[in-house]
Copies of this chain bind each other. A is one copy, B any other.
Amino acid sequence: MIEYTDLSQPIYKRLKEMIRNGELKQGEKIIQEKIAEELGVSRTPLMKALLALENEYLVESIPRRGMYLRVLDYKEIIDIYVCREALEGMAARLLANRKDASSIKQLKACFTPFLNKERIDMNAYAEADEKFHSLLIKLTGNAPLDNIYFFSNIHDKVVGHGLVRTPDETLQEHFKIIDAIEGGNPDKAEKLVREHINKSKELLINQYKNQKSE
């Protein structure tokens, strides 16, 4: 069995899993004693894990009242897309300035399996999509940027492991982004990433409006 030097880390991962697969529901209060017992740990390392999740916007703490799973309303989901637009746009710019061959290879590798396929496995594509967007950030080597980019967690929570738009739209977009990076065109790379994220955002906004008027 693997031993940990810091129990809060596996607890943190377990909690994220519980959030993703619905063992913990939106808005639910986290009764520390209960969860701690479930996981077979004490409240001390659990609290550490919860504080980490709080800083990733997944958990909200109300002093003396408890820790709650965040309920993300549409405004906040849209706000998160705005943040992603800024950060991933900048990331693409940085990568285009560098034109690092290994980076470009890794980005391409995400989507080459889906080229010229008549049928695309949606789960696999969703995973590739997530991988691509997080790679965009990681490959910059900008540690603070990576540090503030926790949105994949939230994306997972909000949209499940589904997609906002379908591959027939986005697959081409992804390759155009990579081309701009490979071509060393930072302005274009940033612009394309922004448009890419913005389109999904607009779609979500429209879905919201329709929901409201129904």
Question: Are A57 and B94 in contact (CB-based, < 8 A)?
Answer: no
Interface residues on A, range: 20 to 34
Q: Give the Cβ gap from A9 to chain B, nearest Cβ, in Å.
A: 8
Mark out the residues of chain A between 26 and 80 whose CB falls within 8 Å of any chain B CB in the assembled complex: 44, 47-48, 51-52, 55, 57, 63-64, 76, 79-80
Instruction: Pick the contact of A148: B52, B85, B90, B148 (CB < 8 A).
Output: B148
Question: Are A76 and B144 in contact (CB-based, < 8 A)?
Answer: yes
Given known pairs A5-B64, A52-B55, the reply for A86 and B82 (CB within 8 Å) is no
Q: Report the bound CA distance from A142 to B57 in whole Å.
A: 13
Copies of this chain: 2
Question: Are B6 and A145 in contact (CB-based, < 8 A)?
Answer: no
Question: Are B52 and A83 in contact (CB-based, < 8 A)?
Answer: no
Known: A5-B64, A148-B148. 9 other contacts (CB 8 A): A51-B51, A51-B52, A52-B55, A57-B144, A76-B144, A80-B144, A82-B145, A83-B148, A87-B87
